Amino acid sequence: MTEASKKPVRSLQAITPGSPFRRLDVPPRLPDSSRRTGAEPLSDFRPSRRHADLGPDFFDVVAPADFPSAILRYRNQAWARRVGLDDLSDEAWIAHFARFTPLPGSFEQPLALRYHGHQFRSYNPDLGDGRGFLFAQLHDRRDRRLLDLGTKGSGTTPWSRGADGRLTLKGGVREVLATAMLEALGVETSKSFSLIETGEALERGDEPSPARSAVLVRLSHSHLRIGTFQRFLFLEQPEAIGRLVDHVVETYYPAIQEAEPAERAAQFFEAMVARVARMGAQWMAAGFVHGVLNTDNINVTGESFDYGPWRFAPAHDPAFTAAYFDEWGLYSFGRQPEALFWNLSRLADCLLGLVPKERLEAGLKSFGPALQDAFAEAILARLGVTPAQGEGEGAVHRLVGAFWAFLETSRAPFEQVFFDWRGGLASEPRAARSPAGEHYAGDAFRPVHAAFQAMRPAAGANLEHPYFAREKPCTMLIDEVEALWAPIAEADDWSAFHAKLAAIETMAEATGTRPLPPEA
């Protein structure tokens, strides 16, 4: 019996709705004597094969594509340092991340992961890694957490469904820009680790063809997702769901692994509800629209990943969408929390055989409060403020409510307002000189100004940083993305792309969101 020959079962009803960036736009140089070629051991690299412990029901062993060429366009040196791969020569980097020579101690062959999922709320049992695979696992040298190196555009797999398994270079550039910007804005996101142009001409309907090709490698805490659980519910294999829960808890939630099985599964669900709520709150505070919030795009660590038709909203507009094919606005900016809640409800469906329904419903009810708490935290972090002495939670809620209402009613430039009022009233003179200054002079801003009275600059506000002497913040609107791509497409000129990454790095330095070094 094939996976597609069965129908989904049971549904729990919803209750409530150093520089990290290096310019590498030339063919790779030969390695010098100070950089590892890949043949010798990697002394700072902490490999893992943890995913293989799940067994062959969870993945297919696959082979990568054989690309005609490989030009290194981007390597994330800050995160390479965090995982002990920063000393690789460019030649060795290409060997591992375009030719997929195994990293010592991790998988000998890549694994294409199996999963199902709801796509725009329509169940699809024919999903799975169709143009990517899990290449390697490794540990963060700073916090020892397990990380995945997963690919996009690495060739066909049993789940490609007739597609070519490739990624356009433009798609890879867009993902690098998305992840760099989100990380700088304080969002828990996957990291674009490597982008290599691969020399193929691709036919695509959504961009001019033939399109240049690339292979992307992302660094993420997990590629297990809600759709992984859904697959076993669909196949009526409850024992596999139990094994998956045990694996996820032992690997990503070790603090709860000593609980009894039912309690362990319940606590996992509650922890994941909180993490997914945090992810949604961070998107909203960043003005970000993911675009494709299907259940196969929500992973078990509550980390944002897999960026296709993403957008940053120019202004607070609940109806703003990212995907041209989202005709009903299902995943619009303002509906993202609802979409995440719906997806968590589908995870609850999968756990009904392990956890009492009432406990799962209680877990779902915690989503709203968790979202509100995480949203307040994200707004205060972006504004660089904290309650003044003697002020408490009420002051925080007043500021967050007033600030968010002002953004929606005024339609002031989203990122500009956060930039202008970094540090609260300490930045009032600077805000008055802002291009958006007229928005702050009227009655609509008075509640925000009054709420700022109970706040003071946070310790990390960093208002003396040269970044805050600028007139405008670093932004990543769709017109800017297209402008960054144009010189690459027309003249293979990568200077604007790298200048933008440098600007994002400056913003991250100013706001305290740069990746920390591996040393404690």
Residues marked as catalytic:
296
Residue 225 marked in a binding site: yes
Q: Which residues contact 436 (CB under 8 A, 6 or more apart)?
A: 412, 413, 416, 417, 420
Burial 85-104 (b: 16+ CB within 10 A, else e): bbebbbbbbbbbbbebeebe
DSSP 514: S
Residue 152 marked in a binding site: yes
Residue 164 marked in a binding site: yes
Burial 237-264 (b: 16+ CB within 10 A, else e): eeebbbbbbbbbbebbbeebeeeeeeeb
The total of other beta-carbon atoms located within 10 Å of residue 54's CB is 21
Residue 105 marked in a binding site: no
- 3-state class (DSSP) for residue 201: strand
Residue 349 marked in a binding site: no
User: How far apart, in whole angstroms, are the C-alpha atoms of residue 372 and residue 291?
Assistant: 22
Residues, the chain: 520
Strands, DSSP E only, in 293-369?
311-312
- 3-state class (DSSP) for residue 413: strand
Residue 130 marked in a binding site: yes
Residue 297 marked in a binding site: yes
Residue 218 marked in a binding site: yes
Nearest to 296 by CA among 120, 56, 54: 120
Residue 76 marked in a binding site: no
DSSP 462: -
Q: What is the largest CA-CA distance in the chain?
A: 69
Q: What is the CA radius of gyration of the chain?
A: 23
Residue 170 marked in a binding site: no
User: How far apart, in whole angstroms, are the C-alpha atoms of residue 173 and residue 493?
Assistant: 13
Residue ranges of the annotated binding site for ATP are 128, 130-131, 152, 164-165, 218, 225, 306
Residue ranges of the annotated binding site for Mg(2+) are 297, 306
Residue ranges of the annotated binding site are 128, 130-131, 152, 164-165, 218, 225, 297, 306
